[in-house]
C-alpha cells in the first residue's frame, strides 16, 4: 500500500516542475530535482512504492528522467 505522504509529494512534484523549469537554470534545476528524488526514494518503502515513484517521475519529467543524473 502506497504511503499517503509519497502520493502527496509526487503531486507536489508534478505541480512544481513547470515552475522550476522556468525559474531555474539547468544546473540548478538538476540539483533540485536530484535532491527531491533522494527524498522520495526514502519515502518509497517497498517495491510497489518504488514502481509508482518511477512511473510518476518519468511522467512528470519526461522520458529522459530515468537516466542519470536523476
C-alpha dihedral, 43 to 50 to 59 to 24, nearest 10°: 40
The ranges assigned to domains in the chain are 4-63
pLDDT given for residue 52 in this prediction: 85
Q: Kindly indicate the confidence band of residue 23, based on its pLDDT and cuts at 50, 70 and 90.
A: very high
> Before 69, cis peptide (omega within 30)?
yes
Q: What is the CA radius of gyration of the chain?
A: 12
Q: Kindly indicate the confidence band of residue 2, based on its pLDDT and cuts at 50, 70 and 90.
A: low
C-alpha span between 48 and 55 (Å, rounded): 11
Top pLDDT among 46 and 9 is at 9
Tell me if 18 sits within 8 A of 26, measured CB to CB. Answer: no
**pLDDT, tens only, 24-56:** 999 999 999 999 888 888 888 787 888 888 888
Amino acid at each position: 500500500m502506497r504511503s499517503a505522504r509519497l502520493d502527496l509529494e509526487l503531486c507536489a512534484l508534478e505541480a512544481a516542475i513547470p515552475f522550476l523549469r522556468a525559474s531555474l537554470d539547468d544546473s540548478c534545476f538538476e540539483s533540485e530535482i536530484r535532491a527531491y528524488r533522494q527524498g522520495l526514494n526514502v519515502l518509497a518503502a517497498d517495491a510497489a512504492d518504488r514502481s509508482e515513484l518511477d512511473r510518476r517521475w518519468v511522467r512528470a519529467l519526461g522520458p529522459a528522467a530515468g537516466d542519470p543524473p536523476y
